[in-house]
Amino acid sequence: MVTVSREFFQAGATAIPAILIALAVGAKQGIRWAQDLQGKSRLGRVLVIMIVLFCILAVLGGEAVALVTLLTQNYTVDAANLVWSGLMIGLLVLITELIRPVSDGLPKRERPFLLVGAILIWVLINVTYIGGLYFLYFK
């Protein structure tokens, strides 16, 4: 059975709450989000709420898996992937929160380039992680 080091899960159990605190501070800008939701259709509002709930569940699930793995000392690659997913989804939400004020100052036609660039960097980080897992554990 392939195992991952305990330090990875300790780092995940430490980093996820820090990301959640940063997201909670960013969520204080709820007035701006509420104004954006008022302009959307009913389907658009439902989709936004579902995406937010998915992100919350994924990040909290990653934290739960990290803590349970540390408790049971069962350091598997599957658990590491779940922790990594929680970290990366939280990081993606944090990136979009940080980019939003910058993108509001840009002309409308340039805003998608900033978001696409940030998402591409996020994807490259994840591809690097997956490639590293393949070469370390499944070679």
Q: Along the 139 residues of the chain, how does pLDDT read in single tens digits?
A: 677 888 888 888 888 888 888 777 766 666 666 666 777 788 877 887 788 788 888 888 999 999 999 999 988 888 888 898 888 888 888 887 778 778 778 888 888 888 888 888 888 888 887 777 677 666 5
pLDDT of residue 1: 62
User: Cβ distance 96 to 19 under 8 Å?
Assistant: no
CA atoms within 13 A on the CB side of 138: 8
Q: For residues 79 and 65, is the Cβ–Cβ distance under 8 A? A: yes
User: What secondary structure does DSSP assign to 18-76, as a single string?
Assistant: HHHHHHHHHGGGHHHHHHHHHTS-HHHHHHHHHHHHHHHHHHHHHHHHHHHHHHHT--B
Distance of CA 66 to the CA centre of its chain: 15
Per-residue confidence (pLDDT) for residue 65, from 0 to 100: 92
